[in-house]
Amino acid sequence: MPQPVDSVPVVEMRNIKKSFGAVQALRGVDLVLNKNEVLGLVGDNAAGKSTLMKVLSGAYIPDEGEILIEGQPVHFSNPMDARRMGIEMVYQDYALANNLDVSANVFLGREVVKYRVGPFQVMDYHQMEEETRELLTRLNIRLPSVKQKVERLSGGQRQAVAIARATAFNAKVIIMDEPTAALSVASTQQVLDLIQELKDQGASIIIISHRLEDIFQVGDRMIVLRQGRKVCDTPVSGDLHNFREQVVAYMIGARDDFAAKATA
C-alpha cells in the first residue's frame, strides 16, 4: 500500500559513503528529514557533517549509497541538479556579492529578463525589487531597503538575505552551515527567529552547528556524527544542560547507540 504523502520523508539518504584518498569521510551514513522539521546536525571537526551536506547539495558525488527526494531516487552530478530538486544550501560565508544590492543578491544567477536585444539582456529591476520586498515581508525580515548594498548590512542582516535567497524559488529543503557563527547575540536571535518563521511556514531545514543552544532552541531532532558515522538520532528534548551533556557524550565516544545496536 502506498504511504500517505505526509509520511514520506522530504529527504532520505541511505548508506552514504565518501572517501578522499585514504581518508574515509563518511562510513555508511543514513539520514531522514521529514516535512516541516528542523534537524540539527552536530559533531566535532572532521566528523563528516559538511561532507554529508555537500553530498545532499550536489557538491560531492557519493562513492556509495542513494538519495531519495519525497520517496523518489535521485542522482546529483552538481549543485544545479540539487537546486532543481529544491535543495538549497546557505554557506557559512553567505556567498553574497557585497557590491550588489539586496534584490540583486536574491536573484543572483536567476535574474528576471525584461527583454533581449540580440546578445544583450535588459533586466527587470522593478519586478525583482517588488518580489524581494514581498519575500522579505513574508519572512518577517526587516531591512532598510532592498536597494541597499549588502556590504552595508550587519552580519545578521546578511545571513537573513542569504536565507531569503535560498527560499525564494520554492525550495523543499534549506541547509544552513553554521548560520549563527561569529554573529552578535542580537543577530543570532534574529537568525533563529527567521528559522522558526520558516518552519512555521512549512519549511524543512537542516542546521549544521557547533552552537548546541541554537539546536536546542529551534531543533525538532538531532543527528550526531562521529568519525564519519552516525552515532545518535533522537528528538530534541529535556533541558539545555542535559541536552548539551548528551551531545558531548556522543561526540567524544562516551556513548554510541548505533554501534551498540550493530554489534548486539
CATH number assigned to the domain comprising residue 181:
3.40.50.300
pLDDT per residue over 22-59, tens digit each?
A: 999 999 999 999 999 999 999 998 999 999 999 999 99
| Predicted local distance difference test score (pLDDT) of residue 206 | 97
Report whether pLDDT(144) > 60: yes
| Predicted local distance difference test score (pLDDT) of residue 95 | 85
- Structural domain including 64 reads 5-95+172-263
pLDDT per residue over 158-208, tens digit each?
A: 999 999 999 888 889 999 999 998 788 888 999 999 999 999 988 999 999
Task: Identify whether 13 is part of a domain.
Answer: yes
| CA proximity to 160, closest of 140, 178, 177, 184 | 140
Q: Which one-letter DSSP state was computed for residue 244?
A: H
Task: Identify whether 53 is part of a domain.
Answer: yes
What average pLDDT does this structure show over 203-222? 95
Cα gap 72→109, rounded to integer Å:
27
| 3-class DSSP assignment, residue 17 | strand
Residues in the chain: 264
| Predicted local distance difference test score (pLDDT) of residue 88 | 93
Task: Identify whether 41 is part of a domain.
Answer: yes
Task: Identify whether 193 is part of a domain.
Answer: yes
The alpha carbon of 187 is separated from its chain's Cα centroid by a whole number of angstroms, namely 18
- How many domains does the chain fold into? 1
pLDDT per residue over 62-115, tens digit each?
A: 999 999 999 999 999 999 999 999 999 998 877 899 999 999 999 998 889 988
Task: Identify whether 91 is part of a domain.
Answer: yes
pLDDT confidence bin for 255, thresholds 50/70/90: confident
Task: Identify whether 121 is part of a domain.
Answer: no
- Counts of helices then strands in the chain (DSSP H, E): 9, 12
Task: Identify whether 157 is part of a domain.
Answer: no
Report whether pLDDT(214) > 90: yes
Distances from the Cα of 162 to the Cα of 204, 216, 221, angstroms = 16, 23, 24
Task: Identify whether 28 is part of a domain.
Answer: yes
> What b/e sequence results for 219-238 when a residue is b if at least 16 CB atoms lie within 10 Å of its CB, and e otherwise?
bbbbbbbbebbbbbeeebee
